[in-house]
Amino acid sequence: MITELSFEELVAREVKKEASDAQIAILSEDYRRWLGELNKLKRDVEIQLAAQRARISGRKTENMPRQEWLQFKAAEEQWKLGALRFMASIEEKMIYVKRLKADANAN
């Protein structure tokens, strides 16, 4: 039996396209759980994006030199781009798992 933590890790690895066929087969044994973990991952990214907006807002109120602000803002935008790409991967995977689940229920 797979533990909760390792199932979560498998889901994250699969979203990053780092899971083996055997690991994907384990995930495929429980589509509902797989979708639940994907939802958790998505919510975590949403929380991180909200925290990032707060971080930027907080830094705006600081009286920092323009060049430093621009460097900070550029780094934050790079981070945001990566987070949004990861969330898009999660959403794509959710669609995929829902299709697998529907196909399994149809048979």
DSSP structure string for 32-89:
HHHHHHHHHHHHHHHHHHHHHHHHHHHHHTS---HHHHHHHHHHHHHHHHHHHHHHHH
Place of tokens 């995977």: 93
Q: What is the mean pLDDT of the chain?
A: 91
* pLDDT at residue number 61: 79
The whole model's pTM is what?
0.85
User: What's the CA gap between 26 and 2, in Å, rounded?
Assistant: 9
The answer to whether the Cα torsion of 13, 16, 21, 27 is positive or negative is: positive
Q: What is the pLDDT of residues 32-79, one digit of tens each?
A: 999 999 999 999 999 999 999 999 988 887 888 989 999 999 999 999
Place of tokens 């781009």: 81
* pLDDT at residue number 5: 55
Q: What is the pLDDT of residues 22-31, one digit of tens each?
A: 899 999 999 9
Q: Which of 9, 60, 65, 59 is nearest to 34 (CA)?
A: 9
Is the predicted pLDDT of residue 81 greater than 50, yes or no? yes
User: What's the CA gap between 3 and 19, in Å, rounded?
Assistant: 17
User: What are the structural domain ranges in the chain?
Assistant: 4-106
pLDDT over 90 percentage in the chain: 79
